[in-house]
Structure 1
Amino acid sequence: MVLTAPPLARAVVAGVDTHLDTHHAAVVTLTGELLADAAFPVSSAGYQALLDWVAGYGLIDRMGVELTGSYGAGLARHLRAAGVTVLEVNTADRATRARRGKDDRTDAIAAAGKVLAGSASAIPKDTTGPVESLRLLHSARESAVKSRTQALNELQAVRTTAPASLRETLPTTTGALVTAAARLRPDTARLDEPEQAAKLALRRLATRARQLTEEIDAAESDIAALVQAVAPTLLAATGVGPITAAILLVAVGENFARIRSESALARLTGTAPIPVSSGKTHRHRLHRGGNRQANRAIHTIALTRLAHDPRTRAYRDRRLGEGLSKRDIMRSLKRAIVREIFRNLRTDLAHPET
């Protein structure tokens, strides 16, 4: 759709408060004057109706959308496809909500105000390419991993509390216990007996764990193939495996141009140095914000390199000889890893910003 406006049409800015079933939009002028607000259904027709409604008040300069990674994802895709500049708007913090109150209209007006004030300047992730596919596959894998962990923990718990006549025949290590439990043959006609009920529970938990392992293996195979196609340079870096690469790709998004520098990537991954000097003490620490999954991926890469990469071990030894603490060395190492990853991602995701 091509949006047109009369030659002297005023420019407007819109803010959208997103929800599961409805989106509430507010339109303001560039001077902050409220023109109108309305609610629209969450559907393709609703997205287009919202866009047409905003365009009816003037030439759309920018639109701020809350929660573009969840409730606002569909709307953000629709607006970007129509050529509208979309900005990510953070939801109000608790202190602001407590002071000003909260409803959909207020939130939509506040979203538009943040766009005008420049406090909403982040470009949302592009969710129309293979990186979004990686996010979906990785999310399914993570769910399966958590479910398998829960099943294995429950398996050990049932073994621990099972009658001694059964418990003493079962191994204690998790892998061997899964194999042994899957071979149990409970007498379903005697489930009123705790031993037979324990056998059935153990067998079901072991079967579930095996099925989840097969699901995880299949997911990891799919993720590895997709990562190899999307980011071969990143995957070739020392210590970077398919899962850590997928986590980093999901964190930055398809439109890597929105990460304007390696410093921005360090801030996103929680590896930017923060000064914590006081008096005669001068030092830094890593800030505790950013994407925590991406931070964990960087930490995994650092540990892998310390264990297997001669250059990284030589760097650690040299810095220890200079008097640095292990914590400071790890901070410096993570920052260097982010610098390298930024170059790799820029090579792999060198798409023009749309």
Structure 2
Amino acid sequence: MIVIGIDPHKSTHTATAVDPVTNTDLGSLRIDATLTGYKTLIAWAKAWPTREWAVENAEGLGHHLAQWLLVLGEIVLDVPATATARVRQLSRGGRRKNDRIDAAAAACVAALQGDARPVAPEGPTDVLALLDERRTNLSGSRTRIVNQLHALLRQLFRARSEVDRIRVGLCRDLIADIRRLDGQLAENEKQMTRALDEQGTGLREVDGIGPVTAARLIGRTGRVSRFPTAAAYANYNGSAPVQIASADTDRHRLSRYGDRQLNSALYTIAMVQIRMPASAGRAYYDKKLAEGKSPRAATRSLKRHLSDHVWRIMLADEKRSHRQHEKESDRAA
């Protein structure tokens, strides 16, 4: 099977076909990132009937092309940019870098390194990811406008000068903007709730997880089965501590890596549960304090514990959804 690597950009995509057995470059093509360019790419790829596609950053600039290929029934793999960079460093190219080399590196990663993962069609998790991103943008806009309003209110005086009248007018405009954003945020939460109801997740049964937090957890995690263990998921969201060991010293420090949005959501859940005396999280927190851990270390332990719990719930939800989809497919057949 021939592997076709894709190096995507905003306006153009470069494809390179590689024979995984001999690691030979069989040809390359550069297309515009348009529907016409996509059709040209498929026509060029028909020279290799048995093929698979390795798209660098298929969740980013290569997302549109990857999803278009999936619709056509093609096999598409997602290759992280860090993996292609590693291939370039280990190759004999003298640190050269161009689009053709990057595309070939993506193909080599998919064929030999094992770092590629299958790309799945868009589904409910993508809906929640879009709603979460929209809410983040709305919240940022609201915060910025509130800060502007606060700055104007601090400068108002009793004497109504011409400048103060302008300030009052601007304050009214900003208040109207805040009310509009509040309405949009409320509607956004309703959309999240409807999407979660359709998906049937059990996350909202956990103390501290509402529709907004549940949407963020699912949307930013994506297909949870791509994490083989709870430890892999904890490493992805940054709740797993980093071991620092040398000679007789062995300690763990806070991880600054991973998805910080997911990490923030887990921290929020942990803080809510700590403040709830009857919650399971509070009991776990008190247990860690009794073991001699500091409050900060106990909170980090609770975050790690919650990461495992959330992973198990989302994995069970995904398996249940898959079984329901199979049953519906059997009925339709």
Give the equivalent residue in structure 2 for 1:273. 241
Inter-CA distance 40–94: structure 2 relative to 1 (3 Å threshold)? closer
Inter-CA distance 201–32: structure 2 relative to 1 (3 Å threshold)? same
Range 114-123 or range 315-324, more displaced: 114-123
Amino acid of the structure 2 residue aligned with 1:71: L
Q: Per the alignment, in what secondary structure is the counterpart of residue 282 of structure 1? A: strand
Q: Per the alignment, in what secondary structure is the counterpart of residue 162 of structure 1? A: coil
Match status 1:209 vs 2:178? yes
Amino acid of the structure 2 residue aligned with 1:117: L
* Alpha-carbon contact 2:7-2:106 (below 8 Å) kept: yes
* Alignment RMSD (CA, Å): 2.7
Q: Per the alignment, in what secondary structure is the counterpart of residue 118 of structure 2? A: coil
Give the equivalent residue in structure 2 for 1:75. 65
Which of 134, 138, 148 in structure 2 is aligned with 1:144? 138
How many corresponding residue pairs? Answer: 316
* Distance in 2, Cα, partners of 1:309 & 1:341: 21
Match status 1:37 vs 2:28? yes
Match status 1:319 vs 2:288? yes
Amino acid of the structure 2 residue aligned with 1:40: I
Inter-CA distance 94–39: structure 2 relative to 1 (3 Å threshold)? closer
Q: Per the alignment, in what secondary structure is the counterpart of residue 143 of structure 2? A: helix
* Distance in 2, Cα, partners of 1:48 & 1:18: 16
Give the equivalent residue in structure 1 for 2:225. 257
Match status 1:223 vs 2:187? no
* Distance in 1, Cα, partners of 2:104 & 2:113: 14
* Distance in 1, Cα, partners of 2:49 & 2:232: 34
Match status 1:21 vs 2:21? no
Inter-CA distance 340–286: structure 2 relative to 1 (3 Å threshold)? same
Give the equivalent residue in structure 1 for 2:117. 122
CA deviations 1:300-343 (Å, max 9, x no partner) are: 11111111152322322232222122233222212211111112
Amino acid of the structure 2 residue aligned with 1:312: G
Identity among equivalent pairs (%): 31
| Structure 2 segments unaligned to the other structure (5+ residues) | 326-333
Match status 1:135 vs 2:129? yes
Q: CA deviation at 1:100?
A: 2.5
Amino acid of the structure 2 residue aligned with 1:43: T
Q: Per the alignment, in what secondary structure is the counterpart of residue 17 of structure 2? A: strand
* Alpha-carbon contact 2:55-2:77 (below 8 Å) kept: yes
* Distance in 2, Cα, partners of 1:339 & 1:249: 14
Q: Per the alignment, in what secondary structure is the counterpart of residue 107 of structure 2? A: helix
Give the equivalent residue in structure 2 for 1:232. 201
Match status 1:299 vs 2:271? no
**TM-score normalised per structure 2:** 0.85
* Distance in 1, Cα, partners of 2:238 & 2:31: 37
CA deviations 1:219-259 (Å, max 9, x no partner) are: 11111221232143112122211111111111221x33322
* Alpha-carbon contact 1:32-1:116 (below 8 Å) kept: no
Q: Per the alignment, in what secondary structure is the counterpart of residue 102 of structure 1? A: coil
Which of 202, 208, 211 in structure 2 is aligned with 1:242? 211
Give the equivalent residue in structure 2 for 1:187. none
| Structure 1 segments unaligned to the other structure (5+ residues) | 1-10, 167-189
Range 286-295 or range 83-92, more displaced: 83-92
The structure number with the bigger radius of gyration is 1
* Distance in 1, Cα, partners of 2:210 & 2:304: 19
Inter-CA distance 288–85: structure 2 relative to 1 (3 Å threshold)? farther
Inter-CA distance 316–149: structure 2 relative to 1 (3 Å threshold)? same
Q: CA deviation at 1:299?
A: 0.9
Give the equivalent residue in structure 2 for 1:156. 150
Q: CA deviation at 1:281?
A: 4.5
